[in-house]
Amino acid sequence: MAFSLPELWGQMGMVAKGVAIILVLFSVYSVGIGAERMLAFNKAKNQSRDLLKYIAALWQEGKIEDSLKLSADKRFKNSHLAKVLVAGLTELQFQTGSGSNYGDKVESAKRAIERATIQGVQEFKRGLSGLATIGSTGPFVGLFGTVFGIINAFQGMAASNSGGIGAVAAGIAEALVTTGFGIVVAVVAVWFFNYLLNRVDVFTGEMANASSELIDHYIKLKLKG
């Protein structure tokens, strides 16, 4: 006997319905965070790509102040590379104004870049811990609803004094819905988590490369001078 979703919902006990509602909330959170992070990552990628087109020539000419102004422009406010470059260039400019020696300037700039990189990575990872939690616990939440559903099915069989698998088949089918739903929710959350975490790793490498190039250009300028 086939059941439609409304019929299955009507046959579920209170615990199973509560579990289903929780899983719906989990799925909404997963899709919402996944979509929001993917949009943010695409903005960061596009803005960083545009920034590099303009700033490469300024670096070659040794225009530190112009590079800082460009990196701080609102057109690149979502760029992960702009954030680390602003931190490094600002520190270099400050140390130059304070009369620090060459070695202190470079080390201060590196520390500023490291702090900006850590902050940038933390921002990129916002919401990912929730996806990991949903991915690991979703099937168990669904199984929790299934266990209570099966218990209710057997209790109904005992109350009606009927035997055989046919007496509990419908109840077990209803109960297993929450397990299936939990697995689907977990798969979606894990897919988003792994994809977004890989993007974060790529951005982290890009920030490290950009900061290294900035320091290298600064060193070359000093050697030429």
**Residue 169: its pLDDT value, please?**
65
Q: How far is CA 79 from CA 34, 43, 60, 101, 181, in A?
A: 19, 7, 21, 31, 37
Find out whether 174 and 105 touch, Cβ atoms under 8 Å: no
Find out whether 69 and 97 touch, Cβ atoms under 8 Å: no
The more confidently predicted of residues 42 and 62 is 42
- Label residue 23 by pLDDT band (50, 70, 90): very high
Cα separation, 145 vs 13, in Å, equals 9
The predicted model gives 20-46 an average pLDDT of 94
Q: Where in the chain are the domains?
A: 19-224
The number of beta carbons lying within 10 Å of the beta carbon of residue 156 is 14
Is pLDDT above 70 for 223? no
**Residue 3: its pLDDT value, please?**
54
Determine which of 31-45, 48-62, 183-197, 198-212 has the lowest per-residue pLDDT on average: 48-62
Cα separation, 17 vs 6, in Å, equals 12
Cα separation, 72 vs 28, in Å, equals 35
Query: Tokens at residue 23, please?
Result: 């899983």
Is pLDDT above 70 for 11? no
**pLDDT averaged over every residue in the chain:** 82
Query: Tokens at residue 158, please?
Result: 């005992």
- Label residue 1 by pLDDT band (50, 70, 90): very low
Is pLDDT above 50 for 187? yes
Task: Please write the tens of the pLDDT for every residue from 82-114.
Answer: 898 888 888 877 777 666 677 777 888 888 889
**Residue 25: its pLDDT value, please?**
95
**Residue 210: its pLDDT value, please?**
82
Determine which of 51-60, 80-89, 125-134, 184-193 has the lowest per-residue pLDDT on average: 51-60
Global confidence as pTM:
0.81
Q: Dihedrals φ, ψ of 17, to 5°?
A: -65, -40
Task: Please write the tens of the pLDDT for every residue from 39-57.
Answer: 999 999 999 988 888 887 7
3-state SS string over the chain?
CCCCHHHHHHHCCHHHHHHHHHHHHHHHHHHHHHHHHHHHHHHHHHHHHHHHHHHHHHHHCCCHHHHHHHHCCHHHCCCHHHHHHHHHHHHHHHHHHHCCCHHHHHHHHHHHHHHHHHHHHHHHCCCHHHHHHHHHHHHHHHHHHHHHHHHHHHHHHHHHCCCCHHHHHHHHHHHHHHHHHHHHHHHHHHHHHHHHHHHHHHHHHHHHHHHHHHHHHHHHHHHHC
